[in-house]
Amino acid sequence: MSYSTYSKYLGTQIPWIGNLPSHWNLKSVKELLCERIEKNDPIKTDFILSLTMDKGVIPYSEREGGGNKSKEDLTAYKLAYPNDIVMNSMNIIAGSVGLSKYFGAVSPVYYMLYPRDKNHSVHYFSKIFESESFQKSLLGLGNGIMMKESVSSSKLNTIRMRIPMGKLNAQFLPCPPPEEQLAINDFLSIEMVKIDKLVTEQEKLIELLKEKRQAVISNAVTKGVDPSIKKKDSGVEWLGEVPDHWKILKIKRLSAVQRGASPRPIDDQKYFDDEGEYGWVRISDVSSSDGILRNTEQKLSVLGSSLSVKIEPTQLFISIAGTVGKPCISAIKACIHDGFVYFPNLKINPWWLFRVFEAGVCYGGLGKLGTQLNLNTDTVGSISIGVPPDQEIESILSFLQITLKKFDGLISEAQRVIDLSLERRSSLISAAVTGQLDVRNYQPKEVA
């Protein structure tokens, strides 16, 4: 869909804004917005709010995935009111911004802003802070950068850059007339609903495809691909009935199960070398992979690799920390730390065991695949699996390779639609709040 533009623009010399409609103003944050610095002292509320990347401002009790626990002493907290623009001063550039619907206590590192002029729309200015182009413009203003790395977490290179309020106040924002602010709000509200609906539909499709994909793997590694073959009770709950001629073996009968190791302290630079022969595998390398380890962000020196557990190409290992239970087969020479276990003398095709772990059902009773599993060498070694003859293993793996390729193609296409939609969402916000679109006469079309 094409949109109208204004008839006359003036240059601003501000890269993220570019040209601005000639009748719009350009004003600093301090001129347009007040900072709310009201403290929760004496305690006015014990209702704690949290700012999330995906949901904006929510009650702390609804926060998922942990995070820092709220402090018992709430007197150091600030107060946020409904229709305050709330932002985390440490993560503004990463999009940690939202418009509050609540009154509550928030972290001292949060900023709360609201319009000085009651005729101005807080929703319009909130959208400016939510726009990626504005966020990126703040990159040079931060005081300090902290890079977080952990072998027990899939989160890597999380950048936390504090933007001082003084520097934020000095930034210039586009300021259209109040009636145009409202028109922009209406336009974005309608268009964002359309985009968000499409994204939600594609996300549901991906989840459905992943469930079906998982079911195909699970059925193949427990029942094979020939439904006419006579079955027997495996005696193992997660396996159920298996083909009569399959063996039921504990994994430790197929290979020893051993844990990785690493030199200490692991942050000592003498253990690393960009030209090293062996890659250094971190949880994030496995979490972000498709199950095949093709590269790592770091490489070990000769000394570092000599003090670690080496994995050669085609070897299988699984994570027991971070994204627990995820299998990976290495395509390179690499070293693993004690957040992984491996199988040094596996007697079957490693891809068979990979598919068993990928299906996830073998972990039944041990916890949920992901972060809640409790795995170690003993628990992994004690898992019983079905083992077909070698020729049948190859046949089943070939079937899975062909079938899963189709699922992966559909999932990739759905993800591509999501990525394009989110790019369009970001572009529309930036274009609307900077006046690159004239939405004063915008007429929404009916959407089925």
Same-domain pairing of 307 and 425: no
Domain assignment present for 262 = yes
Query: Could you tell me which of 154, 166, 366 has the C-alpha nearest to residue 251?
Result: 366
- Three-state secondary structure call for residue 232: strand
Among 345, 365, 387, identify where a domain stops. 387
| Residue 145 forms part of a structural domain | yes
Is residue 211 assigned to a domain? no
Peptide bond before residue 42 is cis, with ω within 30 degrees of 0 = yes
285 and 380 part of one domain: yes
Ranges of beta strands (E only) in 320-414 are 327-330, 334-336, 340-342, 384-387
Q: Are residues 381 and 258 in the same domain?
A: yes
Distance CA(110)–CA(77), nearest Å, equals 9
Number of domains the chain is built from: 3
* 164 and 189 in a common domain: no
Question: Is the N-terminal amide bond of 174 cis, ω within 30° of 0?
Answer: no
Residue 212 forms part of a structural domain = no
Domain range spanning residue 339? 225-387
Are 415 and 284 contained in the same domain?
no
Domain boundary among 387, 408, 428: 387
Single out the residue of 107, 90, 65, 68 nearest to residue 146, CA to CA: 90
- What are 205's two structure tokens? 């499709």
Does any domain span residue 219?
A: no
Residues 342 and 377 reside in one and the same domain: yes
The H-assigned helical ranges of 49-177 are: 122-130, 132-137, 165-169
Q: Are residues 241 and 146 in the same domain?
A: no
- Do 31 and 156 fall into the same domain? yes
Residues 29 and 11 in one domain: no
| Spatial distance between the Cα atoms of 251 and 419, rounded to a whole number of angstroms | 40
Tell whether 51 is covered by a domain.
yes
- 138 with 271, same domain? no
Residues 166 and 181 in one domain: no
Pairwise CA distance, residues 396 & 94, whole Å: 44
- CATH of residue 67's domain is 3.90.220.20
- Tell me whether residue 213 is in a domain: no
Asked if the structure places residue 210 within a domain, the reply is: no
Q: How far apart are the first and last CA of the chain?
A: 16
Tell me: do 374 and 254 sit in the same domain: yes
Alpha-carbon gap, residue 437 to 421, rounded angstroms = 18
- Predicted model pTM: 0.80
Q: Can you give the pLDDT of all 448 residues of the chain as single tens digits?
A: 578 999 999 999 999 999 999 999 999 999 999 999 999 988 899 899 999 888 899 998 888 754 455 556 788 899 999 999 999 998 888 888 999 999 999 999 999 999 999 999 999 999 999 999 999 999 888 765 544 433 333 333 445 678 999 999 999 999 999 999 999 999 999 999 999 999 999 999 999 999 999 999 999 999 999 999 999 999 999 999 999 999 999 999 999 999 999 888 888 899 999 999 999 999 889 988 889 999 999 999 999 999 999 999 999 999 998 888 999 999 999 999 999 999 999 999 999 999 999 998 898 767 555 556 678 999 999 999 999 999 999 999 999 999 999 999 999 999 999 999 999 999 999 999 999 999 998 887 755 4
Q: Where are the beta strands (DSSP E) in 131-213?
A: 143-148, 158-162, 172-175
